[in-house]
Amino acid sequence: MTNSKDTLQYLTLNNGKKLAYRLREGSQPSPTLVFLGGYRSDMTGTKAVFLDNLCAEKGYRLLRFDYTGHGASDGDFRDGSIGDWTQDALAVITATITGDMILIGSSMGGWIGLLIAKILGDRIKAFIGIAAAPDFTDWVWNHEMTEAQQNLCKQQGHITTPDGDTLTLKLFEDGAQHLIFDKPLNLTFPVTLLHGKLDEVVPYKVAQKLATHITSSIPPEIIIVEDGDHRLARDENLDLLARTIDKVIR
């Protein structure tokens, strides 16, 4: 299943759907980096491609993939949920990685990464969150949607946002079963949270809340990028990500 040339490959899931992934083999004896993309993002995005180029240069091993309903993977995006996409991640990790790993989660991928960390435990050597968005379905439902919008979503099973996004009732109901902030989160590895102060999608205070929520012998590190937006995809932001990886991979 591995390929040093980082070619597009597919993993057939138990439900018959094919999950697209790319695995770059490394020359260094270091943990595998796992990139977990955000909502509606895929492995051809700016950060994913940057990480691939970085790992090719540094000799690091990298796994990137598309959740079902995203990118080159099978499935309808509207059928997905946090639980489904977490299972996608676990399936491709199980199929391609036998050793330790460092999780890099962008936005929704930060939430999924934390769920994976709770399951895989000691195999996780570090977590890097990029505008991590744990429990975003909870705050959207309870703080951004009106009662009328909630009722409409319940009646028709979905709602369409002003920017054209479709948010399903399944996404909200499933998200409520996978919350991070509703119970203690004890992690045994270094956590670094990168967040833009100008992020209008996931406020930087979410990173501060997450850092105080985590219990660990290693205090989480928060790096607030003063002029950073939600994507943190400018050259200087990517350089910061590279430095953060070099720091935790040693």
- Bridge partners, 64 (sequence order): 22, 35
Mean pLDDT of 145-170: 94
Cα–Cα dist 12/188, whole Å: 32
- % pLDDT > 70, the chain: 98
Domain-embedded: residue 3: no
Cα–Cα dist 218/187, whole Å: 9
Residue 1 in this model has a pLDDT that exceeds 50: no
Number of residues assigned to the chain? 250
110 with 27, same domain? yes
Mean pLDDT of 130-134: 99
Q: Which domain holds residue 17?
A: 9-135+187-249
Residue-wise pLDDT for 192-215, tens only, equals 999 999 999 999 999 999 999 999
- Name the pLDDT band for 106 (thresholds 50, 70, 90): very high
pTM: 0.96
44 with 15, same domain? yes
Identify the pLDDT of residue 2. Answer: 38
131 with 147, same domain? no
Identify the pLDDT of residue 3. Answer: 40
Domain-embedded: residue 218: yes
Identify the pLDDT of residue 4. Answer: 53
